[in-house]
């Protein structure tokens, strides 16, 4: 039997981080209506005319909390991984703070542009057909499609936008049942 393995996006999927991501932009004078989520932060800072270090200096790695039910899910998993566009300085601090131990956590420094599941899976030696990628954005959906993985939308984030054909988990606790079907 193939063991189902899980790879997660971080922001908006495991962490309810919109507010933590928004605060540095507001502190640096970006109007609220110009702020969107799911980007490579270096690219977004460039687009908004901000210095990446200024953004990171204002980012509080203690602010974002896991979505309800996420903590119980990840502590009970076998090997799992993270594939995120987040800057490693923020993401690694948060993983350390939470005491989470994915086998790999790949952040924006691993990519020349937006994240891609394929090199991570190749590094881990995980067959795409046995992988479920859990994310909250269309880019996450596309990453899973490109890699040949199953995609589950993190429907516990109210900002998610389900598309026809999506598997949607309404709660983290539903995830394992959903992918065992
Ligand atoms: Mg996300």
CATH number for the domain harbouring residue 157: 3.40.50.1000
Write down the pTM of the prediction. 0.93
Q: Which structural domain range is residue 160 located in?
A: 5-16+64-180
Query: What's the pLDDT tens digit per position in 74-100?
Result: 988 989 999 999 999 999 999 999 999
Q: What's the mean pLDDT in 7-25?
A: 96
- Number of domains forming the structure of the chain: 2
Distance in Å, CA 127 to ligand 1 centroid:
23
Query: What's the pLDDT tens digit per position in 101-158?
Result: 999 999 999 999 899 999 999 999 999 999 999 999 999 999 999 999 999 999 999 9
CA distances from 176 to 5, 80, 85, 143, 172 (A): 10, 13, 24, 20, 8
124 & 105 share domain? yes
Distance in Å, CA 82 to ligand 1 centroid:
11
């Amino acid at each position: 039997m193939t063991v189902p393995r899980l790879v997660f996006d971080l922001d908006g999927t495991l962490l309810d981080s919109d507010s933590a991501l928004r605060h540095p932009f507001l502190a640096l004078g970006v109007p609220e209506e110009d702020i969107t989520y799911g980007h490579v932060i270096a690219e977004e800072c460039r687009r908004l005319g901000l210095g990446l270090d200024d953004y990171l200096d204002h980012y509080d790695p203690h602010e974002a909390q896991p979505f309800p039910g996420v903590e119980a899910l990840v502590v009970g998993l076998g090997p799992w991984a993270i594939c995120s566009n987040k800057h490693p300085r923020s993401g690694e601090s948060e993983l350390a703070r939470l005491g989470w131990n994915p086998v790999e956590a790949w952040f924006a420094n691993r990519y020349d542009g937006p994240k891609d599941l394929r090199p991570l899976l190749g590094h881990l030696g995980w067959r795409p057909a046995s992988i479920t990628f859990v994310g909250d954005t269309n880019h996450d959906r596309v990453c899973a499609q490109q890699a040949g993985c199953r995609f589950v939308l993190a429907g516990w984030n109210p900002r998610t936008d389900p598309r026809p054909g999506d598997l949607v988990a309404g709660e983290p606790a539903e995830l394992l049942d959903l992918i065992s079907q």
